[in-house]
Amino acid sequence: MKFLTGNEHKFREVRGLAEQFGFHLEWANLSLPEIRGSLREVALAKARDAFERVGPVICEDSGFFVEDLNGFPGEYSKWVFQKLGCEGIVRLAKGSRACFRTVAVYYDGRPLVASGEIWGEVVEPRGSGGFGYDPIFLPDGHSRTFAEDPLYKLENSHRFRAFRTLFKLLKKQESPV
Amino acid sequence: MKFLTGNEHKFREVRGLAEQFGFHLEWANLSLPEIRGSLREVALAKARDAFERVGPVICEDSGFFVEDLNGFPGEYSKWVFQKLGCEGIVRLAKGSRACFRTVAVYYDGRPLVASGEIWGEVVEPRGSGGFGYDPIFLPDGHSRTFAEDPLYKLENSHRFRAFRTLFKLLKKQESPV
């Protein structure tokens, strides 16, 4: 099964989890045009598009939603990160509630969709693991940021939660009762 | 000729100029899905899409590019404005150089493309005319923001410059030497 992403961090995060469910993921590093839309719309469009080229495929779209900024940077998190970095978000919204969200999609002609999220707080950057906004995200009930504790992230993140649900759905499909 | 936009301010700004060139513009207020891309890519895609539905059409895409923010909010100016407002940009980049840019397109099966820009400085919000980032944009060589002096904007803006060039190109096409 192919996992479509341009981001090696994401591939690594998901590959290990897939193996726990008995799925072997290959990395499909295609560059496809992205539409503008919600995480769900973007992930579904990418999956359909990639399916035409490489067959059955898994992909995802994720975002960082800051409550005091009306959900910014949200669907455009990657692009905003390239422009403003963690620093810009901290300057605008230190102390705000925030969440990471992932919508994960499996597509083989028909879609399977699952989502996951994790809430926390925007803090001054700490740590060097992970990527993107990980240094400024302090998950609820934890004392270290995602970047300070990448192992914690691996098993508690929005991405982990979305893909765990997706792989469970896929398992069910493979072995109907 | 139809002018495609969801923004009545833009329609008003361009209609008067069109008439000076002898073109009568009708407002096509269609809602079309937007791709992600440069101003040029977005404007061209919108124009082709709209042409399929309403025939020969004019449209544009504009953005506000702040130098100290690596061109942010740029192609996503409208969306960022809805999230952060003028206040967010001022907080991040007061005093920075910035420019407004427009790419204007006429499409009748083949495209005509023109662009325009105007440079200035990011300042604290002043004035209530115009729309979007107009209150925080002080054009070079002028003492009032676009929002304080909408008449000045009308005849000096990125949009004015792009469409003046576009209408000149169209005139030339209509009456080749």
Q: What is the 3-state secondary structure (H, E, C) of B34-87?
A: CECCCHHHHHHHHHHHHHHHHCCEEEEEEEEEEHHHCCCEECCHHHHHHHHHHH
What does the pLDDT look like over B111-150, one tens digit per residue? 999 999 999 999 999 999 989 999 999 999 999 999 999 9
**Residue A175: pLDDT over 90:** no
Q: What is the pLDDT of residue B36?
A: 84
**Which residue type does B50 have?**
A
Tracing tokens 């204007």 back to the chain, one arrives at B104
- The residues facing A74 across adjacent strands are A64
Q: What is the pLDDT of residue A1?
A: 87
Q: What is the pLDDT of residue A174?
A: 78
What average pLDDT does chain A have? 94
User: Which of A68, A70, A78, A83 to probe the B interface (max B CBs under 10 A)?
Assistant: A83
Q: Which residues of B touch A79 (CB under 8 A)?
A: 76
- The residues facing A3 across adjacent strands are A27, A58
Q: Which residues of A touch B35 (CB under 8 A)?
A: 33, 35-36
Q: What is the pLDDT of residue A100?
A: 98
Q: What is the pLDDT of residue A142?
A: 97
Q: What is the mean pLDDT of residues A19-44?
A: 90
**Residue A63: pLDDT over 80:** yes
What sign has the CA pseudo-torsion A121, A123, A129, A132?
A: positive
How is chain A classified by DSSP, letter by letter?
-EEE-S-HHHHHHHHHHHHHTT---EEE----PPBSS-HHHHHHHHHHHHHHHHSSEEEEEEEEEEGGGTTTEETTHHHHHHHHHHHHHHHHHTT-EEEEEEEEEEESSSEEEEEEEEEEEE-S---SSSSTTGGGEEETT-SS-TTT-HHHHHHHSHHHHHHHHHHHHHHHHHS--
Q: Which residues of B touch A37 (CB under 8 A)?
A: 33
Which residues lie closer than 8 Å to A131 by C-beta, 6 or more apart? Answer: A7, A9
Alpha-carbon span A102 to A122, nearest angstrom? 18
Q: Å from A84 to nearest chain B CA? A: 6
Q: What is the pLDDT of residue A177?
A: 58
> Does the distance separating the beta carbons of A72 and B80 come in below 8 Å?
yes
- The residue count of chain A comes to 177
Nearest to A3 by CA among A102, A86, A95: A102
What does the pLDDT look like over A85-137, one tens digit per residue? 999 999 999 999 999 999 999 999 999 999 999 999 999 999 999 899 999 99
Alpha-carbon span A76 to B38, nearest angstrom? 15
pLDDT confidence bin for A34, thresholds 50/70/90 = confident
Q: What is the DSSP code (8-state) at residue B5?
A: -
pLDDT confidence bin for B177, thresholds 50/70/90 = low
Which residues lie closer than 8 Å to B143 by C-beta, 6 or more apart? Answer: none
What average pLDDT does chain B have? 94
Write the class of the CATH domain A2-174. Answer: alpha beta
Q: What is the mean pLDDT of residues A66-91?
A: 97
Q: What is the pLDDT of residue B176?
A: 61
Instruction: Note the pTM of the prediction, 2 decimals.
Output: 0.87
Using only the alpha carbons of chain A, give its radius of gyration. Answer: 16
- Domain ranges in chain B are 2-174
B61: annotated active-site residue: yes
Q: What is the pLDDT of residue A117?
A: 98
Reply yes or no: is the peptide bond before residue B73 cis, omega within 30 of 0: yes
What does the pLDDT look like over B65-116, one tens digit per residue? 999 999 999 999 999 999 999 999 999 999 999 999 999 999 999 999 999 9
